[in-house]
Amino acid sequence: MGFTAVWISPVTYNLPGPTADGEAYHGYWQQNLYELNPLFGTAGDLRALSEALHKRGMYLMVDVVVNHFGYNGAGDTVNYTQLHPFDKQEYYHPYCLISDYSNQDNVEDCWLGDTQVSLPDLKTEDSLVTEIYYSWIHDLVANYSIDGLRIDTVKHVDKAFWAGFNSAAGVFCTGESFNYDASYTCAYQNYLDSVLNYPMYGPLVQAFSSDNGDMSGLVNAINTIKGTCKDSTLLGSFSENHDVPRFASFTADMAVRGQLLVKQLLLVKADSLQLAMNVLAFTILGDGVPIIYQGQEAHLAGSGDPANREALWQTGFQTDVALYRFVASMNQIRHQAIEMDSNYLIYKNYPVYSNGHVIAMRKGFDGNQVITVLTNGGQSSKEYTFALGGTGFRPGEVLVEVTKCVTVSINADGSLDVAMAQGLPKVFYPARHLSGSGICSL
C-alpha cells in the first residue's frame, strides 16, 4: 500500500491470564519493563522485524506505556511486588479512580482502569521514577533499532516529564492525548515532537459519516489546529484507531455493524465505500503523518472497543479490494509530491473552497501543489461540474485527476473545472511532474 513505517503494540511483559475485563492481548497492561511479552515473540523476533523493515527502507514505530502498569484486582489490593522495576507502593500515586476530567490534577494523579483490573498510576514527578523511565526508553530504542514511538495516555502524566523522555528516546515521539479540544491537546506538542490529531478526528468523522455532515466544522478545525498547535505538519493524522469506533461503523447498515465478516464489503450500504475514500484521502493528503489502522483498508466495521480490534487474518488479507487499492494510490501521489519537492510536507494544508457537501484543499508550494476535492454527498449524489478558484495554478497548466486518470487544464481565468460524480474524491496534480512516476501509466 506504499507505507513507510509500521506501528506495533507495546512489547513489554503484560498481566498474564484471563481477568474479569478480558486478557491483555492489546499490550497496555504491562507488569515488567525489562521483559518482552512472550505472546508477541522473542527479543530475536523483534530485532528481526526491525531489520526486515529497515532493509525495505521502512521504519519501526513501537507503542509504549508510561502512565500505568496493570494488576488483576482492585486498586486497594495491589501486590506491588508483581510490578517491575517499580515494585513498591511509594512509586505510585495513592489509589483513586479518575472522577473529574475537567480537573487536571485528578486526571494525572488518579488511576485509569476499574475495580476489577486496576492500572496503578506511576508517580512520574518522582526523580527516581523519571530516571528509570528515561534510561529504559533509551535502551529499548537502542537495543531494537526503533525509529519512533507512539506514547499512550500522555495527558495522564505531568507535562514536565515528557520533554526529557522525548530527548532520552532520541527518536520521533507522538503522544496520545485523547481530547478533542485543540488548545488542550496541542499543548502537549510543546513537550513532545507530535500528538495524535484528536481535535481533527471529531470534525472529520462528523463531516463524512453522512450526506448531511458538518463540513463547516471541518474547515474550522483545519484553521484552528494550524493556529493552535506548534506544528500541524507533524501531528498524527487518523480516522480510525484501536480506541475509537471504526469509520465504517458510522456508515454501515445496522445489520452488519460490529460483525467480523469478510463479506461485509458486500453488505455495507452503498455510500459507505465512497465516504470512506473521502476520509482516507483527507487523512493521507492533508497535514501530518498519515496513520491507517490495520483493517481500515478492508473496510472493517467494528464499533467500540473491543469490536474495533478485529483479528486481521479473518479478512483473508485481501489486496484486490477497493480501499486497499485506493490507499495505495493516495500514498503514491503523496510520495510523488515529496519526491518532486522536499519541502512539500512543511506546506500547511488549507481549504480553498467549501460548501455543505464539498471541501477543496491545497497542499504544496506553487507548481507542486496537490488539490484535493472531497465530498460527503455519497454514491447517489447528482453529477455536476463547478469552477474551483484559489488553486494557485496558472492558466493553461495541465493537471491529472489521479483517481480516474483524466487530464484537465486550468481555465483562462485561473479556475479549475471539477466534475463531481458518485460521491468520489478528486485529486489533481501537475501532469509535468508525473512523467516516469508510473501514476496513471505516465
Judge whether 365 and 393 are in contact, CB under 8 Å.
Answer: no
Using DSSP bridges, classify how beta strands 5-8 and 358-363 pair: parallel, antiparallel or unpaired: unpaired
Q: Where are the beta strands (DSSP E) in 340-391?
A: 350-354, 358-363, 370-375, 384-388
- HEC readout, 150-212: EECCHHHCCCHHHHHHHHHHCCEEEECCCCCCHHHHHHHHHCCCEEECHHHHHHHHHHHCCCC
Q: Which residues does 167 contact at the CB level (< 8 Å), separation at least 6?
A: none
10 Å Cβ neighbour count for 348? 16
> Catalytic pick from 152, 211, 240, 341?
152
Omega before 94 within 30 of 0, i.e. cis? no
Q: Sheet holding 148-151: strands in order across?
A: 5-8, 59-64, 148-151, 172-175, 194-195
Angle at 270 between CA 268 and CA 273, to 5 degrees: 75
Rounded to 5, what percent of the chain is helix, strand, coil?
A: 35, 20, 45
Angle, vertex CA 134, rays to CA 128 and CA 139, nearest 5: 125
Question: Dihedral through CA 10, CA 12, CA 17, CA 21, nearest 10?
Answer: -40
d(CA 328, CA 336): 12
Annotated catalytic, 176? Answer: yes
DSSP string across 46-111: HHHHHHHHHHTT-EEEEEE--SB--EEB-GGG--GGGSBS--SGGGBPPP-B---TT-HHHHHHSB
Please pick, among 108, 176, 214, 240, the residue that the annotation labels catalytic: 176
Classify 113 as helix, strand or coil.
Answer: strand
* DSSP per-residue codes, 304-328: STTTTS--GGGGT---SSHHHHHHH
Q: What angle do CA 300, 305, 308 make, to 5 degrees?
A: 10
**Three-class SS of residue 42?**
coil
| Active-site residue set | 152, 176
